[in-house]
Chains A and B, each alone.
Chain A
Amino acid sequence: MNHLGLITKREFLNKVKNKSFILMTFLSPLIMVGVITLVVYLTQLNNDKVRTISVLDESQLFANEFVDTENTKYDLLESLELDTAKKLVQEAGNYGLLYIPKGDSIDAIADKIKFFSEDSPSLIVMDKIEDKIEEKARNIKLKNSGLDPEIVNNLRVKINANLETFEGEKTSKMGSGLKLAAGGIAGYLLFMFIIIYGNMIMRSVIEEKTSRIIEVIISSVKPIQLLLGKIFGTTLAGITQFLTWVIVGGLLFVVVSAVFGIDIAGAQMEQQQEVMNQVANNQEAQDGINMLFQEFWNLPLANLIVMFVFFFIGGYLLYASLYAAIGAAVDNETDTQQFMLPIIMPLMLAIYVGFFTVIENPHGTVSQVFSYIPFTSPVVMLMRIPFGVPIWQQLISLVFLFGTFFLTVLFAAKIYRVGILMYGKKPSYKELMKWLKY
């Protein structure tokens, strides 16, 4: 077996056999699924409580609007003084008291509506109550102006433009969301991968320095072989861990959903349904879902997957070699801080540009420029691709990326070659520049 293979194998096995690595690999999905289950469960528990809201409607105009629902009961009070009512509600331990005073006009009443409660009431609850009053108040005002609310409602026109590309493909706004999600997930995945496994590479370089084995090793192999072997081995271990997370996490989710799952699914369905009902009627929702599937298949999936692989490899290797160079330059992990900023900054920038600028305009100047700059292009370009980027642009960006990767590896290898044999002092940037000339 050649040296690179041997080194890669050792790095891989060393990572994979490590107890804390194994623990993390299997514990993380457990914790994730556990937390999600807990959150869903707690949310349900939270909503289980039935709120009783007392209503003192002196105007006698709104009482009919307050109809009990599953989670909220309305207790209509009549002919009570406000102070008495307040005391009563407090003693009964009700959620709150809605007070609507008498008034000459709707506007006069509206200004004086109050809600009393123990502590600040939930925003959702208040929204619902306010909606009810607003609706009724509007109708009353319409009637007062001599208009039939029915007619006014019929006068409303709802516009929902049907989107279509010049090629005649039907699209929807939901499609844009889907594209964002696809690109966002791809970009974010890469970002996380770089940070987690880049750090792992850096630590493994530092370990070789602190255990003083490095000189023994590089009397047998070239530093660049060691550097690449380290990156490859750690990457393979990373991919193994990532895949395990996906598989174990997925399985766990299925199992958990099967056991407590009806609840989880149910809760989500209910919420979704509610949202959809608000947006449109059932038929429209059904259309929307169909459209969503169609949109999914309309995504440049092949393009996205192929480019994901290339940009992932290029972007990850680019940053990994920098992490390795940092590891070589320092003696221990605490000294790495000063060098981390130049790595983290472009990554963060890429994520921010991705999640703000690309969403705003996937083909705007800033989005385009950042999808060419090698240190941000993997994340930004991956987020742009679902919106349709000409292949030639993607290829140019890839050429830049891999070109920079090779330059960076040369640079990193140089720092690495000198750094691994330097002990004792914390190097400055100036010193690193000097190393390049050795």
Chain B
Amino acid sequence: MNNLLVAENIVKTFGGYRALNDVSIEVPKGSIFGLLGPNGAGKTTLIRIINQITMPDQGLVTLDGEPLKADHIKDIGYLPEERGLYKSMKVGEQALYLAQLKGLSHAEAKKQLKYWFDKFEIGNWWNKKIQELSKGMAQKIQFIVTVLHKPKLLIFDEPFSGFDPINANMIKDEILQLREDGATVIFSTHRMESVEELCDHIALLDKSNKILDGKLLDIKRAYKSNTFEVGLITDRKSEVTQGLQEKFSISDATFKTINDELKFNIKIDNGASPNELVSHLTSKGELTHFVEVVPSVSDIFIQTVQNN
């Protein structure tokens, strides 16, 4: 099996409310897996089950082929959305404590901390109290504590909140580097542009059910509508437009260009190939813009959830 984490048919009920209804996901080794969904869809519950914070009512979660057990805690690094640190504790002490709770020895924890503190150039924070740090600074400590014990599986819930763009970029690079070094990442966020950028697999939860999952590219292919952005320079604008309308369904352009040209979004819905569209266009004028409309994660998200 090439999956690091498999959750099968997970059911979780709180009182009378079913938070997860028969949800299954497979997270391939070495992937960055986007766990998406509207608020209250059940993402956090699923993440908590993977972290053994809550137990599922039904279903099985396996990590590296083994059912989850207490020993797996050290293989997982979790950065929750609701996060914080002991305000009155010193940064160094606190990081050591949290690392030791993850099973590192005191010496090993210290060594790893030194590496990360040097890397982030924050060595002089060691004896500061958390309450003296800014929110962004505290978030850095939190990030370090999450990845310190080199877990196989990293779970980030809204990792970029609280960071300015520069630091967010730095964290993004660190996440990519960690993946490079062999970690698998589960990534939950509402920021679709970071999903586009980072994820290769996604699963979409809505109203306690999984409504979509798979490789991001496959999903995009499935959701593409054979629509192309077209820009054409021609003197006979109305005549060309009429000709196009007869053969394809056209709509107003959603892109901007610098030329004074005819602009459309053209959808091929008569089974023709894009090549046929191109040759039709080139016969009418000078083709300046021809791009396939790729559905964004955001579009897919909105469309799927609304249809659900």
A7 contacts which chain B residues (CB < 8 A)? 101
**Residue from A219, A221, A222, A423 in contact with B78 in the complex, judged by beta carbons closer than 8 Å:** A219
CB closest residue in chain B, given A434? B15
Docked-complex contact B82 and A1, CB < 8 angstroms: no
Cβ-based interface call for A28 (8 A): no
CB contacts under 8 Å to A, within B54-94, are 70, 73, 76, 78, 80, 82-89
Docked-complex contact A211 and B78, CB < 8 angstroms: no
Least CB distance from A170 to B in Å reads 58
Whether A215 contacts B87 in the complex (CB less than 8 A), given A220-B98, A437-B15, comes out as no
Whether A219 contacts B15 in the complex (CB less than 8 A), given A14-B88, A14-B89, A213-B85, comes out as no
Tell me the bound Cα distance from A3 to B104 in angstroms: 11
Least CB distance from B133 to A in Å reads 13
A211 contacts which chain B residues (CB < 8 A)? 84-87
Whether A218 contacts B100 in the complex (CB less than 8 A), given A212-B83, A213-B83, comes out as no
Cβ-based interface call for A301 (8 A): no
Docked-complex contact B89 and A216, CB < 8 angstroms: no
Tell me the bound Cα distance from A219 to B77 in angstroms: 9
A216 contacts which chain B residues (CB < 8 A)? 78, 80, 83-85, 98, 142, 145
Q: CB-defined interface of B4-20 with A at 8 Å, one 1/0 digit per residue?
A: 00000000001100000
Cβ-based interface call for A243 (8 A): no
Docked-complex contact A10 and B83, CB < 8 angstroms: no
Cβ-based interface call for A343 (8 A): no
Docked-complex contact A213 and B101, CB < 8 angstroms: no
CB closest residue in chain A, given B15? A434
Cβ-based interface call for B21 (8 A): no
Cβ-based interface call for A18 (8 A): yes
Tell me the bound Cα distance from A1 to B101 in angstroms: 9
A212 contacts which chain B residues (CB < 8 A)? 82-84
Docked-complex contact B86 and A219, CB < 8 angstroms: no
CB closest residue in chain B, given A218? B53
By CB atoms of chain B within 10 A, which of A208, A221, A438 has the most?
A: A438
How many residues of chain B get a CB closer than 8 Å to chain A's CBs?
26
Cβ-based interface call for B97 (8 A): yes
Whether A219 contacts B83 in the complex (CB less than 8 A), given A6-B101, A437-B15, comes out as no
**Residue from B48, B85, B97 in contact with A10 in the complex, judged by beta carbons closer than 8 Å:** B97
How many residues of chain A get a CB closer than 8 Å to chain B's CBs?
25
Q: CB-defined interface of B127-149 with A at 8 Å, one 1/0 digit per residue?
A: 00000000000000010010000
Tell me the bound Cα distance from A216 to B76 in angstroms: 12
B145 contacts which chain A residues (CB < 8 A)? 216
B89 contacts which chain A residues (CB < 8 A)? 14
Cβ-based interface call for A35 (8 A): no
Docked-complex contact B86 and A213, CB < 8 angstroms: yes
B83 contacts which chain A residues (CB < 8 A)? 212-213, 215-216
CB closest residue in chain A, given B57? A438
Least CB distance from B103 to A in Å reads 8
A421 contacts which chain B residues (CB < 8 A)? 48, 53
Whether A215 contacts B101 in the complex (CB less than 8 A), given A18-B88, A220-B73, A421-B53, comes out as no
CB contacts under 8 Å to A, within B82-126, are 82-89, 97-98, 100-102
Tell me the bound Cα distance from A388 to B85 in angstroms: 52
Cβ-based interface call for A258 (8 A): no
By CB atoms of chain B within 10 A, which of A7, A215, A218 has the most?
A: A215
Docked-complex contact A3 and B53, CB < 8 angstroms: no
Docked-complex contact B100 and A219, CB < 8 angstroms: no
Docked-complex contact B86 and A220, CB < 8 angstroms: no
CB contacts under 8 Å to B, within A178-236, are 207-208, 211-213, 215-222
Tell me the bound Cα distance from A6 to B98 in angstroms: 10
CB contacts under 8 Å to B, within A384-438, are 421, 423, 434, 437-438
Tell me the bound Cα distance from A1 to B76 in angstroms: 20
B51 contacts which chain A residues (CB < 8 A)? 219
CB contacts under 8 Å to A, within B219-262, are none
B101 contacts which chain A residues (CB < 8 A)? 3, 6-7, 217, 220-221
Tell me the bound Cα distance from A18 to B129 in angstroms: 13
Tell me the bound Cα distance from A103 to B78 in angstroms: 98
Tell me the bound Cα distance from A421 to B48 in angstroms: 10
Tell me the bound Cα distance from A217 to B53 in angstroms: 10
A18 contacts which chain B residues (CB < 8 A)? 88
CB contacts under 8 Å to A, within B138-178, are 142, 145
Q: CB-defined interface of A5-25 with B at 8 Å, one 1/0 digit per residue?
A: 011001000100010000000
Give the A-binding residues of B (Cβ under 8 A).
Answer: 14-15, 48, 51-53, 70, 73, 76, 78, 80, 82-89, 97-98, 100-102, 142, 145
Give the B-binding residues of A (Cβ under 8 A).
Answer: 1, 3, 6-7, 10, 14, 18, 207-208, 211-213, 215-222, 421, 423, 434, 437-438
24 A-B pairs in the complex with CB atoms less than 8 angstroms apart: A1-B100, A6-B101, A7-B101, A14-B86, A14-B89, A18-B88, A211-B85, A211-B86, A213-B83, A213-B86, A215-B53, A215-B78, A215-B80, A216-B78, A216-B80, A216-B83, A216-B142, A216-B145, A219-B51, A219-B52, A219-B73, A220-B98, A421-B48, A438-B14
The 10 closest A-B pairs by CB, nearest first: A212-B84, A215-B80, A220-B101, A211-B84, A219-B78, A219-B51, A213-B84, A434-B15, A212-B82, A220-B102
